[in-house]
Amino acid sequence: MTGLEIFAWIVLVILVVTVVVVFCLFGWLLGHIAKTRGHPWADAVRAAGWITLIFGFALWPLALIWAYVDIPASRRREHTP
């Protein structure tokens, strides 16, 4: 093996590790955002993040928006007799 081939293998390994780390970071990110913001369905957001990331990334931005959007608490009218 020449020095150029060894350098190419090192670059390839670094590239593969970087892609795996970024993929895991994107999968982890939505659940973390939802959990820190106190989202009522943080587990569902986390699952949606991983599922959309694995199956094509097309709906991942929608899940990102869902992680930031909080459902307001329902307003209850208390009747006082």
Question: What's this model's pTM, rounded to 2 decimal places?
Answer: 0.74
Q: How much is the pLDDT for 75?
A: 59
DSSP string computed for 25-67: HHHHHHHHHHHHTT-TTHHHHHHHHHHHHHTTSTTHHHHHHHH
The alpha carbon of 33 is separated from its chain's Cα centroid by a whole number of angstroms, namely 8
CB 30 within 8 A of CB 45: yes
What is the C-alpha radius of gyration for the chain, rounded to an integer number of angstroms?
21
CB 64 within 8 A of CB 53: no
Q: Which tokens hold the place of 74?
A: 């329902």
Residues 3-62: tens digit of each pLDDT: 999 999 999 999 999 999 999 999 999 999 999 998 889 999 999 999 999 998 889 999
When pLDDT is cut at 50, 70 and 90, the band that residue 67 belongs to is very high
